[in-house]
A and B are shown apart, each in its own frame.
Chain A
Amino acid sequence: MYNKSFPAVMTAAGLALAGVPAHAQSVDETVNQIFADSTGWFVNLIFANFPGTSFPWIVAWLVIGATVFTIYFGFIQFRAVGHSIALVKGDYSDPNDAGEVSHFQALATALSGTVGLGNIAGVAVAVSIGGPGATFWMILAGLMGMASKFTECTLGVKYRNEYEDGRVSGGPMYYLSKGFAERGLPGGRILAVLFSIFCILGALGGGNMFQANQAHQQITGVVGQYPGWITGLVFAGLVFAVIVGGIKSIARVTEKIVPFMGLLYVGTALVIIAMNYHLIGWAFGQIFAGAFTGLGVAGGMVGALIQGFKRAAFSNEAGVGSAAIAHSAVRTKEPITEGVVSLLEPFIDTVVICTMTALVIIITQQLVTDPQTGLYLLNEAGNGVQTVGGTSGVGLTSAAFGSAIGWFPYVLAIAVILFAFSTMITWSYYGLKAWTYLFGEGDTKELVFKLIFCVFVVIGAAASLGPVIDFSDAAIFAMAVVNIIGLYFLMPVVKRELDSYMSRLKSGEIKKFE
C-alpha cells in the first residue's frame, strides 16, 4: 500500500517539497516538533531493531505470524488456490443471491486498498537497497502472508455484525471482542479498542497523508513545482465529495480506472520483459544468486532478506487486519470461503505486481554492476546499489519503465495518483469503522471523522511531516501487533471452520451451482 522509505523516495526522485507558504511552514515546524517529542518513543519502539542487528522486530513479528499460520493450516495458500479461483468466478454462489456482494467484489475492493505506492515505489526501494536478491525474499514473504490474510479474513466474516437494516460491519475490532468473549478469553475488548485507535491513526497517516504527499510529488514531477496545499485542496475536495457528499460517480470512476491501471501496469511490465526475453534467465539468476549471497549489496544476504520481507509486509498488509474490514461484507454462509478468496490478495499484490516492478528494474539493467566481478556497485552514500540515473524509489521504477517505453512515466504518474486516491477512499472507510466502533454510530460522529480525514489530506500534501508520517506508519504496524496476538488466540476457531468446510466440500454437500 505505501512505502516506508519516504525520504529516500523523495530525495532520489530529485524532488524537494513544494514551496509551502510561510505560515504553513511554521505550523509544520510546530507540529513536527510536538509530534517528534511526544511520539518518537512509540516510533522507535515499533521500528526498533533486534539488538546488534539491523533487523526490525516488527518485520520478524509479521513473518513469524505468517509462518505459524502457514504451518497450522497445512499450507492452505497452496492447497486452496484452485478452489479460491472457483469461488471468485462465482461457481459456488447461489444465483438467488444475485445483487448481493460477490466474492469478486469483496476481493477487488480490498485489493484497491493495498495495491498502490508500495508496489511501485516500495519495491524500487527494496531492490535498490537490497539488490535483486530482495525480490526472492519478497516473493517468499508474499506467499507466507497469504496464510495470515486467510486467517484474518475468515474471522472477519465469522464475527461480523449484521444489522437489522441489512448493513454489514466487520473487522478485527469485532472478532477480537466477540471471538475472545465466545472463547471465554479475557482482554478481547481491550485489544479491540487498541486496534481501533491504531487503525484511526494509520488511516490518517499511511492511508491518507502519505498518499496525498506522494501524489503531490508525482504531479510536481510532471508539471513542475507549485505549493502542495493546492494539490491537497483538490484531493480533499474530491475525497469530501465522495465520503461526505456521497457523490458515487467519482468513486465509481476511480474504482473502474484503478483495476485498468493495474492491468496496464502489469501488461506493460510483461511487454518490457518480453522485449528483453533473452535476459529473463539472467534476471532470475541474479535474483537467486543475490538472495543467498547478496552479490555485493550493503548488508549482503541479510540485507537482501530484510528489504524483501519489509516491502512485502508493508505492501500487502497481511497480518495488519485492515483487509478483513473490506472482506467481511461478502454474501456467504461460510466464512471460510472469504478466507480462501482473500488468499489471492497478497498473491496478486506481492507475488505478481511487486515482482513485475522488480523484474523490470533488473531486466532494464538500472542497477550498475562491476564488469570485472559481476558484483553490484554501491552508491556514493554506500547505503544502496548504484543506479544508472542515480534514481531510487518511484524515480527508479519510472526510469526503468521509461528506458524501454519513453512515454510510460506519464502513465505511471497518473497511475500513482489514482492508486493514491483509491487507497485514501478505502482507508477513510477503515478509519471510519474503527471510529464508529469506539464512539458509536451516528451521523454527527461520522461526519466529525470524515472532516478530520479531509483536513489531513491537505496537511499531508502541503507539508513535510516526517515525524507525523513515521508515527502513522508505526500505528499501522501497531495494528499488526494487536491483530496477530488476536489471530493466535482465535486460530483454532478458523481451524474448526476449515476442517468442517473441507469435509463438506469433499463429501459433495457443498456443490457448485449449475
Chain B
Amino acid sequence: MSGKFVVGYDGSVSARRALEFAVERARAQGGSIVLTHVLEWSPYSFLTPNELEERHLRRREEMERAEKAIMHPVVAELKDSGVPVETAIRYGNTADQLGKVAREMNAVQIVIGRDGQSEIGARIFGSVAVALVQTSPVACTIVP
C-alpha cells in the first residue's frame, strides 16, 4: 500500500524544505502528498461586533487567499514531479489539525519543517514541532 505524507505547509522556507523531503520519500515509495495549510484560529478568541458580522466573509477570503497564494503554486509545480498531491485547508490549532488530517486521510506520516527558533523562544511561545510530537497519531518527521 502506498502511503500518504501529510505536509504542514505555510509557504515558508522551512516548510519548503519539509515539502522537498516528503516529495522525495513519497516518490521513492510510490506514495502521495497531502499538502495541509492551517489557519490559526480559536473559537474562544474575542471579536468586536463588526468582526462578528464580517467573519463569514473574511473566512471565505482567507480560504481563497490560502488556496491561491499558498497551495496553488505548489500543486502546479508538483504536477510535473509525478507525485500525486491533495490539499487541505483547515482552521484551528496547527498541531491539532495536522494530526486530524493525518487520521482522516489514513496518512502514514506527518512531515513539518522547523524554523530554527531559539530554545527560549520555543519555551515561551511553544512550538508546533513539540506539540505535534506529543499528539501526533502517526510517525512524525521534523525537517531541520
Contacts and interface: CB of A to CB of B under 8 A. Distances in A.
Contacts of B59: 99-100, 166
Contacts of B60: 166
Contact of A329 (B43, B46, B53): B53
B121 interface: no
Q: For the side of the interface on A, what is the size category?
A: 35 or more
B52 A106 contact: yes
Contacts of A98: 41, 43, 90-92
A115 interface: no
A202 to B, nearest CB: 15
B45 to A, nearest CB: 7
Nearest to B45: A105
A329 B49 CA distance: 8
B61 to A, nearest CB: 9
A256 B42 CA distance: 13
B51 interface: yes
Interface of A: 90, 93, 95, 98-102, 104-106, 108-109, 112-113, 165-169, 242-243, 248, 251-252, 255-256, 258-259, 325-326, 329-331, 425-426, 429-430
Contact of B46 (A90, A99, A105, A330): A105
A502 B74 CA distance: 48
A259 to B, nearest CB: 6
Interface in B53-99: 53-57, 59-60, 62-63, 90-92
A200 to B, nearest CB: 15
Nearest to B90: A98
B57 to A, nearest CB: 3
Given A90-B43, A105-B45, A255-B46, A99 B52 contact: no
Interface in B24-38: none
Contact of B49 (A252, A256, A426): A426
A425 B90 CA distance: 31
B39 interface: yes
A90 B92 CA distance: 13
19 contacts: A99-B41, A99-B59, A99-B91, A101-B47, A104-B43, A105-B44, A109-B48, A109-B49, A166-B60, A168-B53, A251-B51, A252-B46, A255-B48, A326-B52, A329-B49, A331-B55, A425-B49, A426-B49, A429-B48
Contacts of A325: 49
Identify the 5 closest CB pairs spanning chains A and B, nearest first: A99-B91, A166-B57, A102-B43, A98-B91, A329-B52
